[in-house]
Structures are given as C-alpha cells and as structure tokens.
C-alpha cells in the first residue's frame, strides 16, 4: 500500500486540451510564433519555457508565456476533470492516503483548478526558477519532502514520457494514465480509467 499518490494535472486529472488549443490560437494571433498547436501539444508536460526551446522559439519568451497564460486563464472554465476523478480522489482521501500534484502548469492556474476539488493536497508543485522541471526529478523529490513520505511509499500517476522519466529519476513507482495525452509506455503499468487507481494503491 502506498502512503502518497502524486498526480500530474493535465491529461491525468484535468481534460485541458481544448483550453490549451484556444490559448495557443491567441499566441499565434498576437505573436510571431507560427508553429501549429499539434507541435506545441506534442511537447506538453514540460515547463512552457522548455517547450519554446524545443520549438526553436528563442525570442520574446516571457511575453509569449504571459499571453498564453492569460488566455488559458480566461478560458479555464472550459477545462473539466476527467470522468471519475472526483470519486477516485474522494475514495483515496477517505482511505487516509495523502495526495499531491506535480505539474508543469503555472501556480496561479494550478491553484484555480484544484480549488474546484474538495481535496486537501499535501503538496502542490508548479515550475519555478529554482528547480528543474520534468523530466528532471526535482519537483517529485520536493513533493515527497513536503508530504513527509519516502520514495518507496509513493506512486506517481502521469500521462507523458516526461512524467515517467521524472518518477524513475526520483525513485518512485509509476502508473500511466491510459486516458491521457501521451503514448503508451512499454513495460509500464497502465491504468485504463482513474477508477482503477484506488484498487491499485490500496
Ligand atoms: Mg500531463
């Protein structure tokens, strides 16, 4: 039995693809960026600045990020939790297992989203300038430290290869959200629905 479950947010708890598409459309309209949404979306899971570097966008990053974040915040109501998320989290909470979030979404949007859930998270990690983002293990390690739990007692649930890499590098077990935005990962336990999660950890 695990004592702490860490979730990625987008593609695991939150169905935010349409929100991202709309925010990216605003970036395309207001900046010189011309890469299609699909190119951006293929890289999500990493901090925004890292995605821009991968796309070869190396000018005006802060302005572009601000435009994207502001637009995404404006459209945030269109992002909804995947079916079964509220029930699964309530079941885990009632069993006494702690929960946390390790996301590449910035702190203001993450807090606004998580405030809609009736869950007290032991730790919430968003990118900052001090530590490396996923696939580096930094925020997974900090999350465990904040929650007061060991790697052996922790499970990470993600949907992108970057999540799996961060979990491996932090020394924690990983379960793949099959309903998310990433490709399946070979030889990794895949959950087909979040309703399978309580049985998987309890
Ligand atoms: Mg994700």
What's the 179 CA to ligand 1 centre distance in angstroms? 10
Q: What's the CATH number where 182 sits?
A: 3.40.50.1000
> How far does the centroid of ligand 1 lie from the alpha carbon of residue 87, in Å?
20
* Cα angle value 173/176/180 (rounded, 5°): 150
Asked if 92 and 100 count as a contact pair (C-beta separation under 8 A), the reply is no
User: Are 8 and 31 in a shared domain?
Assistant: no
Q: Say yes or no: 29 and 94 in one domain.
A: no
For residue 77, pLDDT over 90 is answered with no
Residues 35 and 99 occupy one common structural domain: no
Cβ proximity of 195 and 84 under 8 Å: yes
Check residue 157 and give its pLDDT: 98
Contacts of 168 (CB under 8 A, 6+ apart): 174
Instruction: Answer with the one of 37, 54, 77 that is the final residue of a domain.
Output: 77
Alpha-carbon torsion, ordered 157, 135, 44, 48, to 10 deg: 130
C-alpha to C-alpha distances, 103 to 59, 157, 177, 180, nearest whole angstrom: 25, 11, 14, 14
Segments forming the whole domain that contains residue 56: 17-77
pTM score: 0.93
Give the pLDDT of residue 139.
98
The verdict on 42 and 141 lying in the same domain is no
Distance 121 CA to ligand 1 centre (A): 18
């Amino acid at each position: 039995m695990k004592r702490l479950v860490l979730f990625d947010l987008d593609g695991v708890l939150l169905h935010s693809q349409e929100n991202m598409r709309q925010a990216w459309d605003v970036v395309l309209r207001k900046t010189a960026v011309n890469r299609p949404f699909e190119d951006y979306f293929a890289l999500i899971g990493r901090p925004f600045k890292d995605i821009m570097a991968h796309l070869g966008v190396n000018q005006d990053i802060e302005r572009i990020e601000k435009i994207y974040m502001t637009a995404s915040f404006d459209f945030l109501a269109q992002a909804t939790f995947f079916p079964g998320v509220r029930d699964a989290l309530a079941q885990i909470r009632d069993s006494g297992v702690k929960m946390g979030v390790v996301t590449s979404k910035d702190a203001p949007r993450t807090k606004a989203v998580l405030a809609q859930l009736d869950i007290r998270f032991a730790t919430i990690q968003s990118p900052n300038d001090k530590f490396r983002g996923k696939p580096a293990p930094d925020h997974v390690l900090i999350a465990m430290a904040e929650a007061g739990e060991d790697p052996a007692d922790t499970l990470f649930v993600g949907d992108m290869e970057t999540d799996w890499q961060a979990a491996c590098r932090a020394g924690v077990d990983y379960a793949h959200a099959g309903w998310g935005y990433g490709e399946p990962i070979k030889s990794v336990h895949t959950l087909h629905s979040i309703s399978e999660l309580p049985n998987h950890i309890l």
